């Protein structure tokens, strides 16, 4: 007979995984193993994608090599012409900022006028 103090303890539930041992899982003697290898469509997909992936990887490598070579050739020119390029870049950035801000102010003014009307 259980005592009163045992009844106040929380019950512990133990969960055990259940495994099935039938022919659908491919286990057991004489079971048919339907998952023996990749399907034909998977093999064709791999055979198609390997050359495409290799070609794209080679093109990425050529692009990276060309970029590095171009940067190596252009760096001395950037250093030589930096007294001209830096002020030109600053002037272009300021002009773009001015055009964008004037457009934003114009849209704000038009929207406020249309709201008032």
Of 35, 15, 11, nearest to 23 (Cα)?
Answer: 35
Print pLDDT tens along the chain (117 aa).
Answer: 555 555 555 667 677 777 665 555 555 555 555 567 889 999 998 898 899 999 999 999 999 999 999 999 999 998 999 999 999 999 999 999 999 999 999 999 999 999 888
Q: Say how far apart CA 30 and CA 23 lie, in whole Å.
A: 8
Residue-level pLDDT at 90? 96
What's the pLDDT score for residue 104?
Answer: 95
pLDDT (0 to 100) of residue 14: 75
CA dist list (Å): 108 to 72, 94, 104, 117: 46, 21, 6, 14
């Amino acid at each position: 007979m259980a005592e009163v103090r045992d009844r106040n303890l929380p019950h512990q539930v133990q969960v055990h995984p259940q495994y099935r041992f039938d022919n659908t899982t491919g286990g057991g003697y004489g079971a048919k193993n339907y998952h023996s290898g990749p399907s034909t469509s998977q093999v064709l997909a791999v055979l198609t994608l390997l050359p495409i992936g290799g070609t794209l990887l080679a093109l990425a490598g050529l692009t990276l090599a060309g970029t590095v070579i171009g940067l190596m050739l252009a760096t001395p020119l950037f250093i030589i012409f930096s007294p001209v390029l830096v002020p030109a870049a600053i002037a272009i950035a300021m002009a773009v900022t001015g055009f964008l801000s004037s457009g934003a102010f114009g849209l704000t003014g038009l929207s406020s006028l249309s709201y008032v009307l």
